Structure 1
């Protein structure tokens, strides 16, 4: 018989309330021991909680969810107890003392939900992202995926591929029947043309999904003492980087994760760009240029009345910034395409953030759509499109071979949702979860 698993599903104590989750065939037996009865399903019941020797451990709310109407698809119970370390420890020890009960492994509750058909892999990945969401855009994207947006989309595509294969095989098997028109495959290939186009459009949005999930990278570049470290410290509201009048203070790339306009942004302070004979500084400058090349947006900083500086040609997303405008007696009126700021007075910072937010909106235009959020999604969808193209363009091969290409395309989609051949992926996916989920 399968083990009954349990774990603390809420945050680490101390806390006002702690939630201990239990799932498996022994849930009803465990409730009989701990609270003396099995509460009415889906009704919160206030109970004393005892160990198997009837020593009272705590009191709290107990909820029971009967299979299959639970998160895991098994019988599930939740014990809402006081969140002290002593209370939590006592209840976990009492559960561990019951035959057939053991502490859950990371992600094991969610894995059981997958195995019992309660969630598919895209919903599970969305749930994992939702747990880790730091910003509003991440929350919205993850929640959409956890609610099944990708599953619905991919299942629809898989059904079209299955229908296409069925029509082809029907024409093969019943070509002499009057009710099977000979032009049925022509209709199939028109739909496969459209499906290939739809999937390729979907793949084009992968970069936007990656920006939302992994973060939008902004590199601060410019000559020494241009105010890069000061701007990083101002935006992060703490002293992350060393600020000094001595040129070359920053030798390595310093990163800070920020929430700007609901997006996760990784701002990188880099070494000042100049000619140098110091080998360590030269390496720092090389890393600065690499960071700028890899960034989604480059902020090129130059101090007011500083020496003329020619920024390297890096990418096409750059905002020019003139720093230290607090030295002016009058408002900053602009310097070409440059935005003026002062980290001493805060002047111009709000306008700079609005400018960055607009760029974010351009790169990640519509979080409300279901987007491919993982590298494995992109890889498998690419294989799916390749198989559809093989089926569409291989007109000189037997129709059975073209049907096989469509089967391979459907399998690629099935591997995304977990319908077929994903055993090797499961350990990786579920290991990302915390214990108790």
Structure 2
């Protein structure tokens, strides 16, 4: 029997994993989908023949234990009084008949309803993501929308919610689909050339440029290429530029979805864990006057201006230590710093020069670029010998409350203006507000980017980032590479028209894998396993 023929059900509202571990709520929603959904609802009513269930209209009903072949003589028991909704196929989320029971949220009600449904013939508990899987199979959602639904269900911040909703409403799918249709149009043109020859090739108008050489009319090489490809090469070049623009988005969509990584690095006892606790607004890390207290990487989530951020506190970095555990902590600190999207470089204000020397060893191998540059060290200023070369690094001079000498050469007011330097005190919270404001602005700038030079067909960032997963990026990059090969082959004449056409076919296939238009069963299997039961 095809599992698609089963009638599936599950608790689709909040409250915890499964009926047995269910946490009581005021209301609960149990969803039923499949060929027996309506008949199951009717069997749970006291007088089903006298009760009319109007599609898409909430109806208050008493739900009873249903009559089956095994309990025809058994008195019926009231399970709950609930609002019921019926969505007939194909106008439902899954494309099948769907019934929703909006019942009371006690553990007893939910457990009894789920147990009752489980004992009905042809009914079974839905697997994680199975409702959505049926929606995909019936064409109610494409793969991008399925992924957006998964992102929406796990959204922690407003930006994640906005991005998921934009993707869910089909805006991104429309863009990918239009790209793919352009490729298919170019492919159809190429196949016409292959089938009928370049004399039957499509031309924008009926004129043909010729040049006379003696008694012969010779077509120039440029006109030959125009005959073969018409306006296709121009269109494909424009399409490729639109894709390349999206690939140069600095991973903004992925950062919104996954969270932007902020790393606090610096020498031991600079106050990194104290700042970590201040930003977390709780005692998340152990703070001690003993240098080297933090040995591993600690992480927590922050919400800055609606953007999810993953804040990391790292072990203090020093030039030499014989402690093997501390050595491993330093190695992990360097790795986290190199992978971070924003780095908070922290030193003691009273010992900033020595601290900056240590920080240089941490940041020089950063994935983006060498964040600190300099030659000879000048003891008169922290910043005359080191220049921050990235807008995604903030230099923090901690322990202002311990440095009261106004002539101290490490005062932040004396630093180079090119470096965003902040004097703070984690003990008194002095300077914290200004630093947090700058950190929030840095995060916002990192996500928003610059969209002033967006080409045609590139999808405006006002509609959300087009690429929100590494999978999307991989397929778009592969399509761009295929279009580059096409551009080269399309200039080689009629002998390689079939090879050029194959590149268009590959590019279209890659874009089809983004939306699920091409076989993506391996992607679906993994994706649906990550869904919660009931969705």
User: Could you say whether these structures have the same fold, taking a TM-score greater than 0.5 normalized by the shorter chain as the test?
Assistant: yes
1:324/1:29 Cα in 2 relative to 1: closer, same or farther (>3 Å)?
A: same
**Alpha-carbon distance in 1 for matches of 2:414, 2:287:** 25
User: Out of 334, 337, 341, which is 2:413 matched to?
Assistant: 334
Q: CA offsets per residue over residues 245-304 of structure 1, 9 Å max, x none?
A: 011111111111111121111111111122322221122112111211111121111223
Partner of 1:352: 435
1:245/1:200 Cα in 2 relative to 1: closer, same or farther (>3 Å)?
A: same
**Alpha-carbon distance in 2 for matches of 1:82, 1:176:** 73
**Alpha-carbon distance in 2 for matches of 1:330, 1:8:** 65
8 Å contact from structure 2 (residues 28, 104) kept in 1 = yes
| Shift, 1:184, TM fit | 6.5
Larger Rg: 2
Partner of 1:426: 524
8 Å contact from structure 1 (residues 149, 370) kept in 2 = no
Matched, 1:290 2:335: yes
| Shift, 1:177, TM fit | 6.1
| Shift, 1:203, TM fit | 1.6
Matched, 1:61 2:83: yes
User: Out of 299, 304, 308, which is 2:344 matched to?
Assistant: 299
**Alpha-carbon distance in 1 for matches of 2:170, 2:239:** 20
1:34/1:221 Cα in 2 relative to 1: closer, same or farther (>3 Å)?
A: same
1:206/1:147 Cα in 2 relative to 1: closer, same or farther (>3 Å)?
A: farther
**Alpha-carbon distance in 1 for matches of 2:236, 2:149:** 32
1:85/1:321 Cα in 2 relative to 1: closer, same or farther (>3 Å)?
A: same
8 Å contact from structure 1 (residues 140, 367) kept in 2 = no
1:435/1:276 Cα in 2 relative to 1: closer, same or farther (>3 Å)?
A: same
8 Å contact from structure 2 (residues 352, 397) kept in 1 = no
Matched, 1:390 2:485: yes
Matched, 1:324 2:419: no
**Alpha-carbon distance in 2 for matches of 1:255, 1:347:** 24
Partner of 2:6: 3
Of 336-345 and 2-11, more deviation after overlay is shown by 336-345
Partner of 2:157: 135
SS at structure 2 position matched to 1:414:
helix
Q: CA offsets per residue over residues 124-147 of structure 1, 9 Å max, x none?
A: 101101111111211111111111
What residue ranges of structure 2 are gaps of 5+ in the alignment? 16-22, 68-75, 207-225, 364-370, 372-389, 449-460
Partner of 1:41: 55
Q: How many residues align?
A: 437
SS at structure 2 position matched to 1:306:
helix
Partner of 1:22: 32
**Alpha-carbon distance in 1 for matches of 2:285, 2:9:** 44
| Shift, 1:326, TM fit | 3.1
Q: How big is the alpha-carbon RMSD for the aligned residues of Structure 1 and Structure 2?
A: 2.1
SS at structure 2 position matched to 1:98:
coil
- Superposition TM-score, scaled by structure 1 size: 0.94
Partner of 2:314: 270
- Superposition TM-score, scaled by structure 2 size: 0.78
Of 73-82 and 26-35, more deviation after overlay is shown by 26-35
Of 122-131 and 220-229, more deviation after overlay is shown by 220-229
Of 167-176 and 132-141, more deviation after overlay is shown by 167-176
1:59-98 correspondence to structure 2 within 5 Å? 59-98=81-120
What residue ranges of structure 1 are gaps of 5+ in the alignment? none
**Alpha-carbon distance in 2 for matches of 1:9, 1:56:** 22
SS at structure 1 position matched to 2:230:
helix
1:300/1:335 Cα in 2 relative to 1: closer, same or farther (>3 Å)?
A: farther
**Alpha-carbon distance in 1 for matches of 2:332, 2:201:** 71
Q: CA offsets per residue over residues 71-129 of structure 1, 9 Å max, x none?
A: 11111110000001100001111111211110000000000000000000001101101
Q: CA offsets per residue over residues 364-394 of structure 1, 9 Å max, x none?
A: 1157423211222111112211222222211
SS at structure 2 position matched to 1:28:
helix
| Shift, 1:173, TM fit | 4.4
1:150/1:206 Cα in 2 relative to 1: closer, same or farther (>3 Å)?
A: farther
1:431/1:290 Cα in 2 relative to 1: closer, same or farther (>3 Å)?
A: same
8 Å contact from structure 2 (residues 202, 230) kept in 1 = no
1:329/1:248 Cα in 2 relative to 1: closer, same or farther (>3 Å)?
A: closer
Partner of 1:205: 249
**Alpha-carbon distance in 2 for matches of 1:184, 1:16:** 68
| Shift, 1:401, TM fit | 2.5
Matched, 1:231 2:275: yes
1:363-374 correspondence to structure 2 within 5 Å? 363-365=446-448, 366=461, 368-374=463-469
8 Å contact from structure 2 (residues 399, 426) kept in 1 = yes
SS at structure 2 position matched to 1:334:
helix
